[in-house]
Amino acid sequence: MTTLVARWRAHSTLTALGGFGLAAILLFAVAPAVLSDFRLNLLAKFLCFAIVAVGIGLAWGRGGMLTLGQGVFFGIGAYIMAMHLQMADATRLGNDVPEFMEISGIRELPPFWQPFASAPVALIGILVLPALVAAVLGYGVFKRRVKGAYFAILSQALAAALAILLTGQQAIGGFTGLSDFRAFFGFKLSDPVNRKMLFFIAAGTLLVVVALVRQLMRSRYGELLVAVRDQEERVRFLGYDPANVKIVAYVVAAFFAGIAGALFTPIVGIISPADIGVVPSIAFLIGVAIGGRTTLLGPVLGAIGVAWAQTAFSEEFPSGWTYLQGVLFIVVIGFIPLGLAGVWLMLKGFLDNRFRRSQPAVAIPAVVEPQPEIEPEKVETR
């Protein structure tokens, strides 16, 4: 039995290494050679969405937490990066405040901007703040055993509140957000070579994130997370605290979303409240659901596919894409709960059942067990 398990693990590892190798070839060799600079930049944007989707797949697909507020953590990372880039541009031009502040009449830099003028502090903030906010929120929610639709509504309300708060803050760009970034850590964003570098950074980050989630899924923690999703009370009776298990998954998903937001800002060149509110959070979720939330690659392919379809169809049918997106979501949830990644499993199960039914029944001869010989009763004679 141990030998069979070892062989299965070795085969699975080799398959995973082959998949990562193929993905690396497609992203680092094929895509730059085939796509134009504009399409490559679009793909980099879609890869940022895929990074968020991987975290949602872990929290929702494995942990059962319907996260409708990932735009919050995406926005925290994106705005921290945008503030640093604005400060770097202002320093390079010899200004005390970014240009948009001068236009708005703000002559003094707000105190909360000042720490992010340093690149190390900005990077630490991108990695720590989204995870810290998720840890505080998760502790307050999961320790009180809030779950299901209540947790989904709460997370969605948080995304809406953050978008409304940022809309009224002129010190962070207000409704229009932050844009017009000239450089990314000293590299000019107008240079096509540097734009391609951003794509490679996003692609490498996505591969690392997928590898980390794969290890989590295959670990003891991954099994415990699935157990919490399916039988939370039984896990509690076994001596584990399901709240702690959920908090870890929620923090990891927020950590990934913050990194994705930080990459999104220089790639797209703008970040605004419209990119982090309720609608983007739901769009993240739709991509994960369509791709297959319980699988590893389903969220990645679903997020990229939905984002690409939105770009392609909205060019031809600007007013019809929203309806098509809603129809896709309803069809997947109602008829393909495992997503597009589960279509193969459903087809395979259907074919197996048809094959078994077509097989003629083989009569198994009955085995007659030998009966013990019964000795005749002895009759006593007098």
> Quick check: 141 pLDDT over 80?
yes
Residue 360 pLDDT level (bands cut at 50, 70, 90): low
Instruction: For the chain, give the mean pLDDT.
Output: 84
Helix (H, G, I), strand (E, B) or coil at 297: coil
Residue 12 pLDDT level (bands cut at 50, 70, 90): low
- What's residue 259's pLDDT? 96
Tell me the average pLDDT across 203-213.
94
% of the chain beyond a pLDDT of 70? 85
> Quick check: 2 pLDDT over 60?
no
Residue 375 pLDDT level (bands cut at 50, 70, 90): low
Please state at what angle helix 220-230 crosses helix 242-268, rounded to 10 degrees. 110
Predicted confidence (pLDDT) per residue in 38-92, tens digit? 999 999 999 999 999 999 999 998 888 888 889 999 999 999 999 999 999 888 8
- What's residue 349's pLDDT? 67
Please state, in angstroms and as integers, the Cα–Cα distance from residue 260 to each residue in 31, 85, 109, 253, following that order. Answer: 20, 16, 27, 11
Please state, in angstroms and as integers, the Cα–Cα distance from residue 156 to each residue in 149, 161, 334, 358, following that order. Answer: 10, 9, 22, 50
Q: Which residue has the tokens 């989707």?
A: 53
Residue 238: name the closest of 254, 252, 220 by CA: 220
Predicted confidence (pLDDT) per residue in 243-294, tens digit? 999 999 999 999 999 999 999 999 999 998 888 888 888 888 888 988 888 8
CB 116 within 8 Å of CB 84: yes
- What's residue 165's pLDDT? 84
| Rounded-to-integer distance, Cα 42 and Cα 267, Å | 9
